[in-house]
Amino acid sequence: MLVFAMFCLSCSKEKQHELPVLKKDKYPYSVLYLNFGWAKVSANAFTNVMTLETHGTRDSLANSGVVYHLPINKKSYEAKIAKWEKDSVYSWMKRLVVTPVRPNSYCTDYVGYARFTIISNQVTQSCTYDSVCDWKKLSPETEKLHKLISSKFSLF
């Protein structure tokens, strides 16, 4: 009995080694990217600016016979964006990335695609919708994204 008691006393004095609890990031993302082929919209968690980059394309024929679409006439625009708007964009994009929707119609890749990318500290999450006729009509989230982006950039 005495040996058992001593063993228990020595066990209780050992220090437990636990992994430290990681603090939740202040921002669930660093950068949000929405890419639509002819345009790319980005929002950084640490600024109050949303950026729209647009370009046209020119077909170029390689020696192998493959046609490449080269970007030309690149332009960049900036607009102010509030934190609540960025949080909304993040929320809508997160839903599109985590639970993808199926497009109701099919078009060729040449017509359009939509890529939603969320970059955080150590993780990049992305979902690409190929052969999309009209990305704005994919889901209620894409309709809200389009409405918000259109309010910032008149040409969108």
Coil, strand or helix at 94: helix
* Helices and strands counted in the chain (H then E): 3, 6
Would you say 30 and 119 are in contact if contact means Cβ atoms under 8 Å apart? yes
- Show pLDDT as tens, one digit a residue, over the chain (156 residues): 445 544 444 455 555 555 444 445 566 899 999 998 778 999 999 999 999 998 777 776 667 777 766 777 889 999 999 999 999 999 999 999 999 988 777 676 556 788 999 999 889 999 998 888 788 888 999 999 999 999 999 866
β-partners of residue 58 are 70
CB atoms within 10 A of CB 20: 5
